Amino acid sequence: MDAELLARLQFTLTASYHFIFPPLSMGLGLMLLVVSGLYLRTKDPKWRRLSFFWVKVYGIVFAMGVATGIVQEFEFGMNWADYSRFVGNVFGSLLAAEGVFAFFLEGGFLGLMLFGGNRLGPRMWLLSSFIVVFGAHFSALWIIMANSWMQTPAGYELAQTSIGTLAFMTSFKEVVFTPSFIPRILHTWVASWMVGASFVLSVSAFYVLKGRFVELGKAAFKVALPIFVLFSILQVPVFGAMQAVEVADYQQPKLAAMEGLWETQSCAPMYIVGWVNTTGQTTTGISIPCLLSFLAYGSIDATVQGLNAFPSDTWAPINLTFQVYHLMINLGGLFIPLSLLGVL
């Protein structure tokens, strides 16, 4: 096991654990605003109690997100020092903007949100909560910008310096609005709202089943369920599809790995479940004929490039990519009937 693999494993663990909390803070923040707004409109004390409960949970989620996120900043400089030096003038500026513009906005009003419930009036407390939640979404904006630039880089040039070749920004607009940015940020926001709604649903259901705080649990459940239903229905066919089209247009080797497609073909199938044999370069499983061609390019006769059309050193870890991608879309499809069952 070499140093590069160890660095990858460490960053994978850190990033995966960290990514639990920012989406949860955005989604839970949205639910908190809804509950607080209901108290302002109805003056029903149960919404006030629910606001106080969920703001405590939000504080824990925020703290965990900060603690796990800071570790990644060190890993950028220590695990990936050469990469950080090479793209630091572009990538680093986006991360810095996230800290200066978004994190300080979020953190600045967090104290009012956490401790001002009984000191501020309901309107001012809702305003401070809104600014915190807006800051969380604004923070995600910059992080997704940085990630999208890595996926579909634009607005930069390479220049020779005294320490080697470095990337320099030539157009801030092109760096921000790379082809993958808008699909990614919309997909992330909607997924975060689903996570927040499902979190409220699960905690509320727990209390109802245990016979504790039943009235509050039912009230929160009825508020969170429509949000989960709406975004579950929209996520896969609308926002997920937007990102899939972007991958098909700009990242063909990734698309081929996601679907385990080895040879270039028209009427390419899309797998529901399957297994990729990288040694024999075969993919077996349950598939729908021509669906990949149709979803990627709008025609069942469209040609989709396979992995063998690209150098092998550009391939993602194929079976891992295939399995986690299909787990994601299958869960996304499952959320729709599950949410409708909740309505029933």
The string of pLDDT tens digits covering residues 111-163 is 889 888 888 888 999 999 999 999 999 999 999 999 999 999 999 999 999 88
Contact 123, 112 (CB under 8 A): no
pLDDT at res. 99: 83
pLDDT at res. 227: 95
Task: Tell me the chain's radius of gyration from C-alpha atoms.
Answer: 23
CB-count exposure of residue 240 (10 Å: 0-12, 13-18, 19+): buried
pLDDT at res. 231: 95
pLDDT at res. 314: 87
The pairing of beta strand 164-169 with beta strand 156-161: antiparallel
The span from the first CA to the last CA of the chain, in angstroms, equals 52
Report pLDDT digits (tens) over 275-323: 999 999 999 999 999 999 998 888 999 999 999 999 998 898 899 999 9
Enclosing H/E stretch for 215: helix 214-234
Low-confidence residues of the chain: pLDDT under 50: none
Backbone angles phi, psi at 282, to 5 degrees: -130, 155
CA atoms of 136 and 23, how far apart (whole Å):
9
Contact 299, 245 (CB under 8 A): no
Nearest alpha-carbon partner for 245 in 235, 255, 253: 255
pLDDT at res. 3: 86
Q: Answer yes or no: pTM beyond 0.85.
A: yes
Contact 28, 196 (CB under 8 A): yes
